């Protein structure tokens, strides 16, 4: 990291200056938010949407099913599809807070860049995982810095920010793991079909999931759907649906004051006792106790 140390320090200084307190901060840059935490936090369960996350300072741990991914300033995180994850800031202090930049990925921009990049590299044998880490390079860090520096010259943002975001997206596609994004953003391969399956589940999570019918709609066999879905998400379609249901039930109880039984039925559960068991397994506490803790600590997980 010797060649990137000064640039990394500059990035941390920019992020610290533009995050006056802990939390997620929107910016004038398109699809860019900044995150700050002055101390390690509790594990937070959330649905992570497609994004690039660059840590300038501190360390974060992300669990995807049984997998653990730890990243800091030496590696960036990419999420290519909506994934239920558990995130936790594990290294942060008031003197050296956790600082992170998140760029939400735009499918239309990815598709346009892929057209301009020309023929893809040789196809991978199967879909890649929808969450991965990649080593930070000087070129990648330089592109991030060019984007962040625009926060100090607001009059340049309208013209230059789209160019800076485009360059950063280009660097992402050209990185060692960029083929994972290519699989999701273009073509009609298995990874693209799994992306469509995820979109359907997000819209219909409360409905019964009949795997054979679901697979036919995607022009896949049931075994192929299960195999490729797990390759991308690290879980089965039914496990993914369960996480969506539980997270939505939690939101309904917190934001709309529904009781546990009503929330369970709203998201598709037929058994309140089964809902309580699975809720406790995911969030660590039964619904009532978890809701009390959420209200004491300030609410649901942030999007990063």
* pLDDT exceeds cutoff 60 at 303: no
Task: Find the domain containing 247 and state its range.
Answer: 188-298
Based on the domain organization, do 211 and 175 belong to the same domain?
A: no
Residue 98 β-bridge partners: 37
Q: What is the band of 1 on the pLDDT scale with cuts at 50, 70, 90?
A: very low
What sign for the dihedral angle of Cα 198, 203, 206, 208?
Answer: negative
pTM greater than 0.95 (yes/no):
no
Do residues 251 and 301 lie in contact, with contact meaning Cβ atoms separated by under 8 Å? no
146 belongs to a structural domain: yes
- Closest among 86, 192, 102, 95 to 147, alpha carbons compared: 102
Boundary (domain end) residue, out of 125, 160, 184? 184
CATH number, domain of 49, equals 2.60.120.10
- Domain co-membership, 130 together with 198: no
Q: Which residues contact 170 (CB under 8 A, 6 or more apart)?
A: 113
In a domain, 303, yes or no: no
How many Å apart are CA 75 and CA 98, to the nearest integer? Answer: 14
Sign of CA dihedral 176, 177, 183, 185: negative
Same domain, 180 and 220: no
Same domain, 28 and 119: yes
Task: For the chain, give the number of residues.
Answer: 304
If asked whether residues 171 and 243 sit together in one domain, one would say no
Judgement on whether residues 166 and 198 belong to the same structural domain of the protein: no
Given a cut of 60, whether residue 2 has pLDDT beyond it is no
Instruction: For residue 137, tell me if it sits in a domain.
Output: yes
Rounded to whole angstroms, the Cα distance separating 299 from 297 reads 6
Domain count within the chain: 2
What does pLDDT average to over the chain? 92
Q: State the Cα–Cα distance between residues 244 and 266, nearest whole angstrom.
A: 12
* Nearest Cα to Cα of residue 85 among 105, 104, 107, 61: 61
User: In Å, what is the CA distance from 63 to each residue of 71, 85, 131?
Assistant: 12, 6, 10
Residue 138, Cβ neighbours under 10 Å: how many?
A: 11
Question: Is the domain of 214 the same as that of 289?
Answer: yes
Q: Which two tokens stand for residue 264?
A: 């369970």
**Residue 58 neighbours by CB under 8 Å, 6+ apart:** 37, 72, 89, 91, 92, 96, 97, 98, 99, 100
Q: Which whole number is the average pLDDT over 178-199? A: 86
pLDDT digits (tens, 9 = 90+) for 31-84: 999 999 999 998 999 999 999 999 999 999 999 999 999 999 999 999 999 999
Of 189 and 221, which is predicted with more confidence?
Answer: 221
CATH number at residue 242: 1.10.10.60
Among 164, 184, 204, the domain boundary falls at 184
The larger pLDDT score, comparing residue 303 to residue 57, is at: 57
3-class DSSP state for residue 183?
Answer: helix
153 and 237 both lie in a single domain: no
Q: Is 88 part of a structural domain of the chain?
A: yes
| Cβ contact 238:227 at 8 Å | no
pLDDT of residue 166: 95
229 and 137 in a single domain? The answer is: no
**253-300 pLDDT, tens per residue?**
999 999 999 999 999 999 999 999 999 999 999 999 999 988 887 766
Q: Are residue 204 and residue 172 in the same domain, yes or no?
A: no
- The tens digit of pLDDT for each residue in 99-137 reads 999 999 998 899 889 888 877 666 666 788 999 999 999
Asked if the structure places residue 289 within a domain, the reply is yes
* Residue 186: predicted pLDDT: 76
The verdict on residue 304 lying in a domain is: no
Which three-class secondary structure state does DSSP give residue 73? coil
Q: Helix 237-255 vs helix 222-233: angle between axes, to the nearest 10 degrees?
A: 60
pLDDT value of position 300: 66
One domain for residues 210 and 88? no
pLDDT greater than 70 at residue 19: yes
Same domain assignment for residues 160 and 195: no
Last residue of a domain, one of 117, 151, 184: 184
The predicted structure's pLDDT at residue 121:
67
Q: Answer yes or no: is pLDDT of 20 > 50.
A: yes
């Amino acid at each position: 990291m010797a060649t990137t140390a000064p640039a990394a320090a500059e990035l941390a200084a920019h992020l610290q200056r533009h995050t006056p307190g802990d939390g997620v901060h929107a910016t004038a840059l398109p699809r860019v938010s900044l995150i700050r935490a002055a101390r390690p936090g509790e594990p937070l369960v959330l649905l992570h949407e497609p994004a690039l996350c660059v840590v300038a300072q501190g360390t974060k741990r992300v669990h995807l099913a049984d997998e653990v991914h730890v990243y800091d300033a030496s590696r960036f995180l990419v999420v290519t599809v909506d994934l239920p994850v558990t995130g936790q800031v594990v290294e942060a202090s008031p003197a050296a807070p956790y600082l992170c930049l998140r760029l939400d990925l735009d499918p239309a921009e990815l598709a346009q860049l892929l057209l301009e990049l020309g023929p893809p590299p040789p196809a991978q044998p199967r879909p890649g995982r929808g969450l991965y880490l990649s080593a930070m390079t000087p070129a990648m860090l330089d592109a991030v810095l060019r984007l962040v520096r625009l926060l100090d010259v607001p009059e340049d943002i309208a013209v230059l920010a789209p160019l800076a975001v485009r360059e950063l997206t280009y660097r992402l596609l050209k990185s060692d793991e960029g083929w994972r994004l290519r699989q999701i953003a273009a073509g009609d391969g298995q990874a693209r079909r799994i992306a469509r399956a995820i979109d359907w589940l997000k819209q219909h999570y409360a409905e019964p999931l009949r795997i054979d019918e679901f697979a036919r709609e995607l022009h896949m066999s049931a075994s192929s759907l299960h195999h490729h879905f797990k390759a991308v998400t690290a879980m089965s379609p039914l496990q993914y649906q369960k996480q969506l249901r539980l997270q939505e039930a939690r939101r309904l109880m917190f934001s709309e004051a529904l009781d546990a039984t009503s929330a369970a039925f709203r998201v598709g559960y037929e058994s309140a006792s089964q809902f309580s068991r699975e809720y406790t397994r995911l969030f660590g506490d039964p619904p009532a106790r978890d809701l009390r803790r959420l209200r004491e600590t300030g609410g649901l997980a942030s999007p990063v």
